[in-house]
Amino acid sequence: MKRLMKASILLIGAIITIGMVLFFVVIFANEVGREEVNPYPLTEDVISYQPIVEKELAKEAKEEYTAVVLALMMQESAGRGDDPMQASESACGEVGCIDNPNQSIKHGVSYFLDTLEAANGDLELALQSYNFGLGFIDYAVEKEMGYSQDLAIKFSQKKYDELKNTGNYSCLRDEAEEYDACYGDIYYVDAVYKYLPSALEQTDESVQVAQVSESNK
């Protein structure tokens, strides 16, 4: 009888142990699966600014660009600091003149929409111009071209050649240094797009840019 009870206790203990192991294996597998599907998540800081981003976009009836702006902010700062949109340079020509997140988002959204309008809705051209400045759109028009990686490299080379003696510019990426294209970030569009799937998951379907994920090739 005692042996039977002991065997039963051991069996129950083994079942419980196996169950717990399987439970943690499933949890771990789910987490790994999530990371594989979404390797570039938005930070909580960026997510916390979503209502303000939507509010600013709504002023121009452009809420469908919420995900794009969140992805852009993620690339700029991951939502950290007093200027999460890194909007100071476009606002006043120098770093650090904006020290309020709300003001940063207000100006950053406005500037993004300005680039989008100037680019005639070409999102990639608008995004690269957010990084390079509106002069990139003028350059594209002059060359009678839309956005391309090659065009971004050539513009960066041109501007870097003009400005490198100021000492204000250095290469952000090894690849850019190889091209001698150290003005801005020649891979800015790709850098923003890598966060777009996470941003689209975060936004409501009614404020998604449906074509964007497909344009990300």
Cβ distance 183 to 38 under 8 Å? no
Q: How far apart are CA 122 and CA 103, in angstroms?
A: 26
pLDDT at residue 142, as a whole number: 93
Which ranges constitute the DSSP H helices of 38-148? Answer: 44-48, 50-58, 66-76, 88-92, 101-118, 123-132, 135-142
Neighbours of 58 (CB within 10 A): 12
The first and second tokens of residue 21, run together, are 């192991």
Q: How far apart are CA 14 and CA 28, in angstroms?
A: 21
Cβ distance 182 to 167 under 8 Å? no
Which stretches in the chain have pLDDT values below 50?
33, 35, 210-211, 213-217
Per-residue model confidence as pLDDT tens digits over 62-103: 999 999 999 999 999 999 999 999 999 888 877 888 999 999
73 to each of 1, 40, 49, 104, 213, how far by Cα in Å?
69, 13, 10, 10, 17
pTM of the predicted structure, to 2 decimals = 0.78
pLDDT at residue 210, as a whole number: 44
Q: How far apart are CA 69 and CA 209, in angstroms?
A: 11
3-state secondary structure at position 38: coil
Cβ distance 75 to 67 under 8 Å? no
pLDDT at residue 129, as a whole number: 98
pLDDT at residue 174, as a whole number: 86
pLDDT at residue 114, as a whole number: 97
